[in-house]
Structure 1
Amino acid sequence: MPWDRPTLTAELSATRSTVLSAPTRGSEPGLIAVFEPCSRPATPAITDAQACCYARRQGEAQGRAEGSAEGEAAGKAKGGARAVLIVLDARGVEVPEDVRADIANCTDLVQLGAWIRLAATARRIEDLGLDAFV
Structure 2
Amino acid sequence: MIHTTTEARKDLALTTLAAITHADSPDVAAILKAVSSALRETPEQLSCPLADEEIRDEGRAEGRAEGRADALLIVLEQRGVAVPDEARDRITRCGDPEQLRRRLARAVTAASVEDVFVEP
Compute the TM-score of the two structures, normalised by the length of structure 2.
0.44
**Greater Rg by CA:** 1
Higher-RCO chain (CA-CA 8 Å, sequence separation at least 6): 2
